[in-house]
Amino acid sequence: MSTSMIPRLGVNIDHVATLRQARGESYPNIVDAARVCLEQGADQITIHLREDRRHIQDTDVESVGLVTKKFGKPLNLEMGCSDSIIEIALAIVPDWICLVPENRQEKTTEGGLDITNETNYQRVMNVCQRFKKILPTTRISLFIESDQTTLDHVTLLAPSIDAVEIHTGRFARDFISGNDLRDHLRQYQVAHSHIKGLGLSFHAGHGLTGESIIPLLEAKIFEEYNIGHWIISEAVFKSLGIVVRDLKNLINRY
Ligand code: PXP
């Protein structure tokens, strides 16, 4: 089964906030980043409010939400299952919530939620049920690996969620290393059939680039991609020369 729809692109703008936080300045402005992405066709803005607040801040969630609302596009809030972040999500009412594992020591979200662990499974189940009850208009996605044991646990959670987002980090790294991708693609096909059989949406994210996304687009199985680090990295080089040229022109006029 493949999807004939054009997949949606969610742009993760966390790393605009990473740059801002590095200097403690008010720029680069996260609201402008969301606006530019939406003006250029992004289907959704994704932000991750981490417990350590290393990039996105509480006030960003509200202000980015106002921009997405203005454009009539969804705000996708990635979050761990901690009580304090849950309270913020309940107050903000994002269009989508993507539950992710969170570990303060990690550089980024290094794997999917381990819902095969009974404690984690119960926690995720309780959080999803609470969101479904209190935020009936918010759709819920689980960031997971695509192995069969994880998929079997998704079956049990399916009534309380709307989608899964497959962690594509290992696929993306194998792509960059030139390794064989066939096992990943086969596993994604199996996962797609399983997830669509449950009536859920099938999303992808993590580590993807303009090149590594191509085999996934060709497979026509993912309905949504959430991409951040590569987009912001590319944006630096697509614009660095222009910014230097403009500043040099300004200096030359004096
Ligand atoms: N999707 C989820 C659930 C994530 O946690 C992340 C990273 O924050 C992304 C997508 C985007 O990953 P990347 O920045 O590597 O494109």
More confident residue, 106 or 156: 156
In terms of Cβ atoms closer than 10 Å to its own Cβ (0-12, 13-18, 19+), residue 94 is buried
Kindly state whether residue 67 falls inside one of the protein's structural domains: yes
Asked about 48 being catalytic, the answer comes back as yes
Which residue among 15, 153, 184, 206 is the active-site one? 206
Asked whether the predicted pLDDT for residue 1 surpasses 50, the reply is no
Kindly state whether residue 144 falls inside one of the protein's structural domains: yes
Please, what is the average pLDDT of the chain?
A: 96
pLDDT digits (tens, 9 = 90+) for 54-100: 999 999 999 999 999 999 999 999 999 999 999 999 999 999 999 99
**Mean pLDDT, rounded, for 196-202:** 98
Residue with tokens 């680039």: 209
- Whole-number Å distance between alpha carbons of 135 and 210: 34
Kindly state whether residue 193 falls inside one of the protein's structural domains: no
pLDDT digits (tens, 9 = 90+) for 200-242: 999 999 999 999 999 999 999 999 999 999 999 999 999 999 9
Kindly indicate the confidence band of residue 103, based on its pLDDT and cuts at 50, 70 and 90.
confident
Kindly state whether residue 192 falls inside one of the protein's structural domains: no
Kindly state whether residue 191 falls inside one of the protein's structural domains: no
Q: What is the pTM of this model?
A: 0.95
Query: Residues with Cβ within 6 A of ligand 1?
Result: 12, 14, 48, 78, 98, 100, 108-109, 143, 165, 205-208, 226-230
Provide the residue type at 100 as one letter.
V
Kindly state whether residue 194 falls inside one of the protein's structural domains: no
pLDDT digits (tens, 9 = 90+) for 23-48: 999 999 999 999 999 999 999 999 99
Kindly state whether residue 242 falls inside one of the protein's structural domains: yes
Kindly state whether residue 179 falls inside one of the protein's structural domains: yes
Asked whether the predicted pLDDT for residue 17 surpasses 50, the reply is yes
CATH number for the domain spanning 110: value is 3.20.20.70
DSSP summary character for residue 51 = T
> Domain limits at 216?
8-186+199-253
* 3-state secondary structure (DSSP) of residue 119: helix
Question: How many independent structural domains does the chain possess?
Answer: 1
- Whole-number Å distance between alpha carbons of 235 and 210: 12
Atom of ligand 1 nearest to the CA of 12: 11
**What is the per-residue pLDDT for 106?**
75
